[in-house]
Structure 1
Amino acid sequence: MEVEGDAKPVIHAPRKIPIALRDKVKQELDRMVSIDVIISKVDYPTSWVNSMVVVQNRICLDPRDLNQYVKRSHYQLPTVTEITAQLSGAKFFSILDASSGFWQVRLDEPSADLCTFNSPFGRYKFKRLPFGLNSAPEVFHRLVHEIFEGLQGVTTYIDDILVWENSKQEHDLRLIEVLNRAKDRKLTLNKAKCQFGLSKIKYLGHVLTAEGVQIDDGKIEAVVNMPKPQCKKDVERFLGMVTYITKLIPNLSTVAAPLRQLLCKDVTWQWLENHENAFIQLKKLVTTTPILCYYDVSKPVTLSVDASQSGLGAVLLQDDKPVAYASRALTETEKAYAQIEKECWLWYMGANAFISMYMASKLK
């Protein structure tokens, strides 16, 4: 781990810990020392002394000052779209979870000194990659990606490893290959969080099946059970929940337009009938959204678009089945466009939304 040359080291005093948690925090620090994650009693000067933050079942570094100067590797994480585009023909899935993934990455001595932290019980320093560093996810993702690089039917996202194949026999052979690779490279897995040989599995907030991608039941339930918004913050929260799954829902932005208008600075809060209708319709859309097929790079694609008075919608199709949806609401200025201008804007929006899937593909 390296820091920028103009970094200004910061030394933090130990934060106060609630009296009721002191014994538990000390026990956890002792446990982390015993499993070689941290070193206790750092008795020599270090340029950086970070704060410690206690979250549920975990002690993390609070390196907010250090994070400003850490040189990041900027190793790109795959998107859900990029992952599902690899799954055409997949019928069986397994998910492997790296046990305390970051702690499997050993720090060299200079990096460990940077990760020194203060506590009411003295100074400690991390020997393993700590939670809290802004570079930690991409560092660990790069290492895990390199472990399984070259294997077919495998993709990784930080500490989540997805294995798939189009038959049970091929899947099991692939899984054995992955497990052997993990063993050879000393990557420890969390058996309790691993799932093996399923035809339907939850991954990164989506449900993967032999037929395609669908919305996680937990997310559907959360949206359906959301009470009627009482203020703008409630509307933001609700729209945030449905926007996460926008590519799985047709015409989402158009339907949500009345709710988004409520968030404008110059709009006074007033829940009207059109807002109630949009709220109810969005809930209905979430519960009736069809399964999206996996993108197949070998098949031609069809881009279908549609415009209404309030929004634009597009869907990418293969074999007349939806692969992904995109939509956006029209601004007041755009609503005044001539029809030919709206149609041009519509095709631009649709093409731009699916550019990663239709570029270099055969258009139908």
Structure 2
Amino acid sequence: MKFSIERAALLKAVSQAQSVVERRNTIPILANVLIEADGSDVQFRATDLDIEVVDKAPAQVERAGATTVSAVTLHEIVRKLPDGALVTLTDDAATGRLTVEAGRSNFSLATLPREDFPVMASSEYTTNFGAPASVLRRLFDKSKFAISTEETRYYLNGVYMHLADSEDGRALRCVATDGHRLARIDAPLPDGAEGMPGVIVPRKTVGELRKLLDDDDMQIAVSVSETKVRFATPNITLTSKVIDGTFPDYSRVIPTGNTRKLEVDAADFAKAVDRVATVSSERSRAVKLQLDEDRLILSVNAPDSGAAEEELAVAYADERLEIGFNAKYLLEIASQVDRENAVFLFNSSGDPTLMREGTDTSAIYVVMPMRV
């Protein structure tokens, strides 16, 4: 195998591949990227047995072939090569080495046989549809902060992507929760998505998917089966197993009778929470909200380190209320608001609080209060 490729194209392809590779694994071949050169393209394939990413890049292929080489080492070499360099990769089957040449730089890397590389079995996808990158990015970006990190509740370690009925009709919905906060985001149902099985997309897959969604104009091909999900652009295909578990009935924790309404500038609110939380003890990070007519007082009282208080002008016309929250959770939810105003709906100091962006109900958030 021998081909030449621009450094920028090679770096982009290898970056995507090496981020999937697990740094610590007991199977040496899983640390490698499979390089396949044929025609006028080169494919870079990496897997951790749960996720597989295939990145295709244009190249001048002199001799077709395939080999595997350490993904991290190749990425580090390419990253340190000068911009604009033309990189030539040559595989010598006799010596089991891959030569990487660029200008006066020359590297010789150990390879492993391509036959040993595990390729994820292609699944029979029951649903196939297309969705704009911007829509998928919104669905996953706004929900991923609420993914649980508790390994014991493995079924919460991802984003639940499924079909649901919303106020505007059928919707493609993403939900994530860790038991303390919940995010539920809706998008109009894409053509062809009807009948899609609900799947829990793992946290690592959500992180890798984000790299495919930067171009707003790009259409992403989505394929879903009971056990796998695949997202594809013209050059990159990301395939992942889904979490084998049942996502809980989240609708039961979304409050419907919260009537006390607070409207506040989202940016001002987030900055104020951040400022007063500076003095709180790291363990609890509790912030107290005192609500009175058109007035909100945020306060923190940490006996070990001090106290802080800040007042904000808000729109609030209900009876007086005091409620406490984890500052980190408040900040994460406030940072999701794209519109100017955040609307909080309270019931009492011990009940879950609902938050949405202005009048938009396609994105709602729930956060549990704390005792303060």
Per the normalisation by structure 2, the TM-score is 0.26
Structure with higher strand content: 2
Structure with higher helix content: 1
